[in-house]
Structure 1
Amino acid sequence: MKFADKPANEEDRLQSLHASGLPESGPSERFDRLTRMAKRIFDVPVAMLNLVDADQLLPHSCIGLEPEKWDRETSLCSHVILQSTPLIVSDLLEDPRFHDAPAITHQGLRFYAGCPVHMPDGFAVGALCISDTRPRLLSEDEVAVLQDLAAIVEDSFAVLTEARLDQLTGLANRRGFDVLASYALAGARRREKPACLCFIDLDGFKIINDTWGHEAGDRALGVMSGLMKQCFREDDVIGRRGGDEFSILFTDSSLSGASRAMEVLQHKVSLYNETSGQPWQLHFSWGMAQYDPLRHSSLRSLLQLADRRMYQMKKSRQQAR
């Protein structure tokens, strides 16, 4: 079987996939309804929604076959994510690319049609596909129907992604951050790369709300979020945990490198305070913890350590006043 190449944007694609939380959530009735619909519309024995992860094909909905994780390199869906149009193979046995694919040798399938499905940021993360045990053709109208069903899948992806974003700041919310940061930590552990987590809490935020109103408080949160986006890299994971608390996972970064990034943020915040003309000012305390896979069994333990260190900084500043 011809193995598919990996996309040039593979790391960003995987980050987008895991930021959605879809691989961790497993099969869903939301998508089972769509694959059942596809099975009936096309009168095929098999309809699936598969996600293409780093090394495996993850069945997110599987009608007609027992769901299991398949090797990515021997999957047809790994070819689908490389193109913008559906992959239609009328007879797998007669196609030199796929004649010995496990879909034929293990499942006895002969026909395959897969349409790429994308996250809202444009990355192709999987395929909505139908299969039959006999060769067949699809008309142009049928291909259009398959694409329409894939568009419905993408609409559902957008809804799920929206649920993991903080509406005020555009950052990941608590749930979104935890999913993406946990995935990033697993990658750091696998590749033996460093990572650091920072916990930020705004100082005096309640005073801003109480004195100038919640609109000013929202403005302060938006400014802080924007400054973090300016200071930190695209590969770093930034989230708003709620209220005036933020968390950042610095990927592939030592404690000294992450600390320098925080110094840059402190400088940006100070500059904003000097030039903004706002009646209120931004101040923040932060705590940092370097990831150690032998000590930190989960993201939660790393967050707790960074949180404690943040409160130590906040307490020392209060005592110094």
Structure 2
Amino acid sequence: MKSPDHPENETQRLASLRESGILDAGDPARFDRLTRLARRLFNVPMAMVSLVDEESLVFKSCNGLRYASLPRDISFCGHVILSETPLLVPDARNDARFSDNPLVTGEPHIRFYAGYPLRLPDGAMVGSFCLLDHDKRTFTDDDVAVLKDLAAIVEDEFETIAEATTDVLTGLLNRRGFEHLANFAISSAHRRAEPLTLGWLDLDRFKEINDRFGHAEGDVALRQMAQLLTNAFRDSDLLVRHGGDEFGILFSDTDESGAWIAMQHLVEEADAWNLTSGKPWKLAFSWGVTEFNHDDITNLSSWLRAADKRMYAMKKEHQAERRN
């Protein structure tokens, strides 16, 4: 048996998958209707919409099977995300990659598999719309075209879900998307005994930019702040526009001292941008960082308050400096 390789962009791919919100969001009935339709169209006993997470498959629909998830290393779908073309396996018993796979030699006794890759709006390959049969069979070009159309409908649904968790102006996570993924990150960090630190920032004198130069320039400032965040930090860090001119960064596997250094780098990047922007206003911000302590911090809200308190302390210092 050949376990599926990981794509070269695996870290970025997983970040896109989790930031999209589709792992847990979306109406299952919408996907179930499509897999039921696929079973009728192709006369197969099983059809699935799967997402390939770090170690397992997450099923948005699993029609004809009762799996809640499957290990990624024995999955067919893990192979699908490695290519832009569909994976067709007419007879798994005669395919060296799958002949001794436990899903072939045991339940559910897969013999035929056809999987079409599923993408997110940003292009990340995240899963498969797949058909399975207990018997070997052929799959024509016309069949591939129909499966592609069904996959496109699923991708449209992914886009709808992603828009519900994305800030339209900046492209960062919105409050809803961030809260969902931050809670996931907290539980994951606790399970792995890894540090997790929250950076919180608020633009300085943002109201003045709006008042003096207009709201269009205010939007430019917000978009540029989002771009600086994207350029400065890792793909694995969660970035959010929480509301107004307030932004956050969730630093994965990073303690407070490491996050402090990262935020100082962001300040340097903002200073460099101000020197060449040609704008009559400066992009500046106050910030604070707080590491999650599983003993003292009980939930996301209390963590946000702790980070906001530290950010506000710096803002008061900046205001005092301007007065002097």
Q: Secondary structure at the match of 2:24?
A: helix
Which residue is 2:53 aligned to? 53
TM-score (norm 2): 0.87
Assess, with a 3 A threshold, how the Cα gap between structure 1 residues 276 and 7 changes in structure 2: closer, same or farther: closer
Which residue is 2:18 aligned to? 18
How many Å separate the matches in 2 of 1:314 and 1:139?
A: 64
How many Å separate the matches in 2 of 1:88 and 1:181?
A: 37
Deviations 1:52-100 (A, max 9, x none): 1122211111222224212222222122222332222223344343344
Q: How big is the shift at 1:239? A: 1.4
What does residue range 1-321 of structure 1 map to in structure 2 within 5 Å?
A: 1-25=1-25, 28-104=28-104, 105-273=106-274, 276-318=277-319, 321=323
Deviations 1:206-246 (A, max 9, x none): 23323332112212212322333343334332211111110
How many Å separate the matches in 2 of 1:310 and 1:296?
A: 17
Gapped regions of structure 2 (runs ≥ 5)? none
How many Å separate the matches in 1 of 2:251 and 2:298?
A: 18
How many Å separate the matches in 2 of 1:277 and 1:117?
A: 42
How many Å separate the matches in 1 of 2:64 and 2:320?
A: 66
Q: How big is the shift at 1:304? A: 2.1
Q: How big is the shift at 1:302? A: 2.2
How many Å separate the matches in 2 of 1:271 and 1:143?
A: 51
Q: Secondary structure at the match of 2:117?
A: strand
How many Å separate the matches in 2 of 1:194 and 1:132?
A: 45
Gapped regions of structure 1 (runs ≥ 5)? none
How many Å separate the matches in 2 of 1:184 and 1:27?
A: 23
> Is the contact between residue 3 and residue 73 of structure 2 (CA under 8 Å) also seen in structure 1?
yes
> Is the contact between residue 119 and residue 125 of structure 1 (CA under 8 Å) also seen in structure 2?
yes
How many Å separate the matches in 2 of 1:277 and 1:10?
A: 38
How many Å separate the matches in 2 of 1:10 and 1:280?
A: 39
Q: Secondary structure at the match of 1:25?
A: coil
RMSD: 2.6
Q: What letter is aligned with 1:158? A: E
How many Å separate the matches in 1 of 2:201 and 2:12?
A: 26
Q: How big is the shift at 1:187? A: 4.6
Between 266-275 and 83-92, report the one with greater CA deviation: 266-275
Assess, with a 3 A threshold, how the Cα gap between structure 1 residues 28 and 240 changes in structure 2: closer, same or farther: same
> Is the contact between residue 32 and residue 62 of structure 1 (CA under 8 Å) also seen in structure 2?
yes
Identity of aligned residues (%): 50
Q: How big is the shift at 1:102? A: 4.1
Assess, with a 3 A threshold, how the Cα gap between structure 1 residues 307 and 18 changes in structure 2: closer, same or farther: same
> Is the contact between residue 19 and residue 238 of structure 2 (CA under 8 Å) also seen in structure 1?
no
Q: How big is the shift at 1:130? A: 0.9
TM-score (norm 1): 0.87
Q: How many residues align?
A: 321
> Is the contact between residue 11 and residue 236 of structure 2 (CA under 8 Å) also seen in structure 1?
no
How many Å separate the matches in 1 of 2:155 and 2:285?
A: 38
Between 49-58 and 80-89, report the one with greater CA deviation: 80-89
How many Å separate the matches in 1 of 2:275 and 2:92?
A: 67
Q: Secondary structure at the match of 1:22?
A: coil
